[in-house]
Structure 1
Amino acid sequence: MRHPILDRYVAIGGSAVQKPQVMKVRIGARIGDLFEECGGFTGTPKRIATGSPILGRMVQDLDEPVIKTTYAVFALLEDQPGDGKVRHCISCGECRAVCPVGLDPEELFKAAENNSSDAAMEGYGPVMAGRCHGCGCCEVFCPSRLPLSTVITNYARGESKFAGE
């Protein structure tokens, strides 16, 4: 028996969001209402988008609805994610808490940085990284703004940690 999709889990985050979280959201809910449920904005966002922090689709109006393909909504204080500064993982565990696949993005990111094999990292190699479906939830919640899912998916494909390197 088939049931219609009425709800979905959506990651709400970014540097302009007061309290980032993953919420069960009714399809058709206003994006503006999601930000209100997260305590509003910390400042005036310069960029609001759905999807991944890097390749997301710009939101033109906070009245736009959540659709069945919406998995993340984020608001950033800066025009682009990241400011060119090299940041390091602070081992906060936020990425682990929001990964819908149950992976450990922190360990996979570290394995990718070191280009480690499965044996060296006790299961945190390219095979495990291949389970990542690149949703970007970990990137939205990372306080260090590391390109976690980008690096992990590149690592799984055997590419350099950052595309274009």
Structure 2
Amino acid sequence: MSDAKAERGQQWLERLLQLAGLPAQVDVTCQDDAYWLTIESSALTPEQVSALVGEGGKAIDSIQYLANAILNMGCDEELQAAYTLELAGYRQKRQEELRSKAEEVARQVRETGESIEIADLSGAERRQIHTLLKDSEDLETFSRGQEPHRTLVVRLR
């Protein structure tokens, strides 16, 4: 791949996996102005996949945070990129779950007129629901509280 941002992300993640003793290659695709770094799971054991994803996605979220922080640190804005890590379909499945959750919560708020708090979301997942609902003319979202007990609130405008 000739894209320097894609190559940087791929090389960084493959090196991290190598240092961790995990024999996995990384494929890169560009989707919605973000680089998806997909860890090939075929050479990994189910236990290794489970450890890389972590409980509730905590490990893959942490690695993704680290990738974005390290790969963008000290870079001019035009060289910065957003990286999303994928492994064994986890991100795709989680995105669908979050989309369904956002639609259900939006429906409930519209029906009852009462705000709803959503707990147990990572910072990236809260941002995703903010993004999914940002174009709703009748709804607004905001985060409340301090980590690790931060929640997302959806309410009528």
- Whose helix proportion is higher, 1 or 2? 2
Structure ID, larger Rg: 2
TM-score by length of 1: 0.28
TM-score by length of 2: 0.29
Q: Which has the higher contact order (CA 8 A, sep 6+)?
A: 1
